[in-house]
C-alpha cells in the first residue's frame, strides 16, 4: 500500500500543473525509475491530454497505455503480450467508468453555458488515479 501511495503522489504532482496524459505517463515512468524516459515522454505526450485535445479517448487512458507499453517492453515482453495487456487495461477501465471516451466521462459536469462544473476536475483526478493503479496491477504480474 505504501508503494501505491508513492505512485499516486508522483502522479498527482504532475496532475497539479499538467494534463491527464502527462500526469499518468510521467507519474508511472517516474515511479518505475525511468526518469530520463519520463522527461522524453513529458515532451511527447502533451497533445494526448483532454481526449487528444478533442475529448475523444481519455488522456488518462492514453498516458497510462503509453507507460504500460514502455514498461512491459523494458521487461522483455513480446508485442502480442503487450497488446493483450493493453486490451486488458482498456477493459478494466471501461468496466470501472463505463467508457474510454473523455466527452462521455465529463459530460455530467457540462454546464448550460458550455463550461464545466468544478467537480469535473475531481472526476478526472479519479480517472488519473485509477489509470495508474490499473497499470501497476498489470506490471506487478511481471516484476520479480
At residue 105, the pLDDT reads 98
At residue 55, the pLDDT reads 96
> In terms of pTM, does the model score above 0.85?
yes
For residue 117, name the pLDDT band (cuts at 50, 70, 90).
Answer: very high
Burial of residue 53 (number of CB atoms within 10 Å: 0-12, 13-18, 19+): middle
Average pLDDT over residues 23-28: 98
> 116 forms bridges with which residues in the sheet?
110
Q: Within 10 A of 83 (CB to CB), how many other CB atoms are there?
A: 13
Q: Do 35 and 78 contact (CB within 8 A), yes or no?
A: no
User: Distance between CA 22 and CA 38 in Å, rounded?
Assistant: 9
pLDDT digits 0-9 by tens, 37-91: 999 999 999 999 999 999 999 999 999 999 999 999 999 999 999 999 999 999 9
Does residue 144 surpass a pLDDT of 80? Answer: no
At residue 143, the pLDDT reads 80
Amino acid at each position: 500500500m505504501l508503494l501505491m501511495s508513492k505512485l499516486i503522489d508522483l502522479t498527482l504532482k504532475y496532475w497539479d500543473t499538467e494534463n491527464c496524459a502527462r500526469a499518468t505517463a510521467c507519474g508511472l515512468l517516474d515511479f518505475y525509475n525511468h526518469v530520463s524516459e519520463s522527461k522524453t515522454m513529458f515532451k511527447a505526450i502533451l497533445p494526448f491530454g483532454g481526449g487528444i485535445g478533442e475529448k475523444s479517448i481519455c488522456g488518462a487512458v492514453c498516458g497510462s497505455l503509453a507507460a504500460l507499453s514502455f514498461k512491459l517492453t523494458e521487461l522483455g515482453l513480446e508485442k502480442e503480450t503487450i497488446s493483450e495487456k493493453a486490451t486488458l487495461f482498456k477493459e478494466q477501465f471501461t468496466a470501472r467508468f463505463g467508457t474510454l471516451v473523455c466527452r462521455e466521462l465529463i459530460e455530467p459536469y457540462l454546464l448550460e453555458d458550455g463550461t464545466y462544473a468544478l467537480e469535473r476536475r475531481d472526476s478526472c483526478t479519479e480517472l488519473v488515479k485509477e489509470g495508474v493503479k490499473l497499470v501497476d496491477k498489470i506490471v506487478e504480474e511481471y516484476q520479480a
